Structure 1
């Protein structure tokens, strides 16, 4: 009766085990491609907006402005009578906020209000633009002005996290962490294959030295 391959292995007193190096190579590739897939679109976006930010003074855009006016009802105006005449508060009175949100299609939740005895002023900055609301406390007249600086300014502000809110700032932190994983797993793969590719470490060193030399020669003079 012929012995099976498993019996032959057992008879020899040895079992074939996959080398540990193969496991770590697979781990490096997995971490690299998964983090790369997650980061791909974001890396392209941030690379493009890095260029547009670097040449912002050369990209000419004409801001567009929208102006709206309205008058609050006497009942709504009365809701502001007991509010401060100076300083700031966290929110408008709810009846006032509801009227403005309904007529102007703006979100005033959590917006700081600057008060004087004459008017109330609310700043509404956003990525790629700005807006503000002014309310006359006596007459209830409202002036709303919204300015947009275009798509490039919008993307640039996303890059900087300017006026984007907490959710986008959290995204930037998580995305940055994923990019670090992508870069370090790439470095790991370079180390694994460096023995067969003699140009690996000279290229890595070049990627470090070029910006350092530029900083020394042209920035810190």
Structure 2
């Protein structure tokens, strides 16, 4: 085998290696991101048309009275400007009323402890009167579309979901970058490759320049 043939063979081997490597990471990232990508694409549509999608919030209320021993703990926590309600109070709220405050920080005042309890697809709050122990809880649920929209935005979803969004975004970047490199490697045999890529770049730029002021 002469030198040009050796160089050509080495070039083909490198190309085959990179094609195999890029295809592997492309399908792995696409498989891992598939379901989440469909979720984010669908909720992108619902968020874009939020004004046209009617919401029918369901509001529920609960009332009760905190036992005096637990109320004393709340008052001590207020005096100490504690970051959460006492553990015994949180446990009682879960067991007796099904209210999970999830170590949410209360807003203290001389008259009451107020906890905002936001959640995906809804909202809630809890108020405890410090003189009598009377408590009031309200839960607002806006439906499954609002729930999925909040997952898209990472609104009140907690740190675990936020980490998932970061990992999902990294997976999407791997999917896109490997796809771009595969396009480059196949572009010589597919004449429409770069015009289509250019179209995908130029169209949103034109929309921004022409219609957004």
Same fold (TM over 0.5): yes
Of 141, 144, 148, the residue aligned with 1:148 is 141
- C-alpha distance in 2, partners of 1:37/1:85? 53
Looking at structure 1, the residues matched to 55 and 117 of structure 2 have their Cα atoms a distance apart, in angstroms, of: 21
Are residues 89 and 83 of structure 1, via their aligned partners in 2, closer, same or farther at CA, if it must alter by over 3 Å? closer
**CA distance in structure 1 between the aligned counterparts of 2:36 and 2:76, rounded to whole angstroms:** 48
Runs of 4+ with >6 A deviation: none
**TM-score, scaled to structure 2:** 0.91
Gaps of 5+ in 2: none
Q: Could you tell me which runs of 5 or more consecutive residues in structure 1 were left unpaired when the two chains were aligned.
A: 1-8
| Structural mapping, 1:121-132, within 5 Å | 121-132=114-125
Pairs within 5 Å for 1:78-157? 78-84=72-78, 89-157=82-150
Partner of 1:34: 28
How big is the shift at 1:156?
A: 0.5
- C-alpha distance in 2, partners of 1:183/1:81? 55
Q: TM-score, normalised by structure 1?
A: 0.88
Q: Is the 8 A contact 1:97 1:108 kept in 2?
A: yes
Pairwise CA RMSD of aligned residues?
1.8
Instruction: Tell me the CA shift for residue 96 of structure 1.
Output: 1.8
Deviates more, 1:172-181 or 1:89-98: 89-98
Indicate the structure with greater helix content: 2
Question: Where do 1:15-94 residues align within 5 Å?
Answer: 19-84=13-78, 89-94=82-87
Measured after TM superposition, the shift of residue 188 of structure 1 is: 0.9
Residues 191-210 of structure 1: pairs in structure 2 closer than 5 A: 191-210=184-203
1:164 to 133, 137, 157: 157
Cα distance, 1:85 vs. partner?
A: 5.8
Separation in 1 of the partners of 2:52 and 2:154? 22
Distance in 2 (CA, whole Å) between partners of 1:26 and 1:104 is 58
Rg larger for: 1
